Amino acid sequence: MPTAQLVMLCRKALLIIVVLMLHSAWLAVTLYASTWYWKQPYHTNALSGEAWVNELIFGHLERIYTCLGMRVHVFLALVPELCLHGLKDSHYVTLKEKVAISVLLVFLSNILEKDSSGPC
């Protein structure tokens, strides 16, 4: 096979490989951006108290961040840390509930403060 034909064949093969790689990347981005990628339901039910906190911890991965502004590992580290500083369960409310309610109030007040002051 002459050298020119071999070069053209290599170029065609390289072009095919590049096109396939770009197509694969486009498919991956499209799948990741689509609503079919993550099938776990987000808003499932209305709970209160300890059931609500457990739903935040064990439910959808983004729910606790949306509600409290912190990831689940941060929340789970904060509860025992506050326990070490003297906070504890009361007769009707667990420490996890107290922490979740407090963090929720701070998070919501920060959101309202940002909204009332205009754009950042």
Within 8 A by CB and 6+ apart from 110, the residues are 69
- Per-residue pLDDT tens over the stretch 26-58: 988 887 777 666 666 666 667 778 888 888 899
pLDDT at residue 29 in the model: 86
Name the pTM for this structure: 0.56
pLDDT at residue 119 in the model: 44
Farthest-apart Cα atoms in the chain, separation? 89
CA 22 from chain centre, in angstroms, equals: 27
Domain locations in the chain? Answer: 1-38, 50-116
pLDDT at residue 67 in the model: 85
Regions in the chain scoring below 70 on pLDDT: 1, 35-45, 115-120
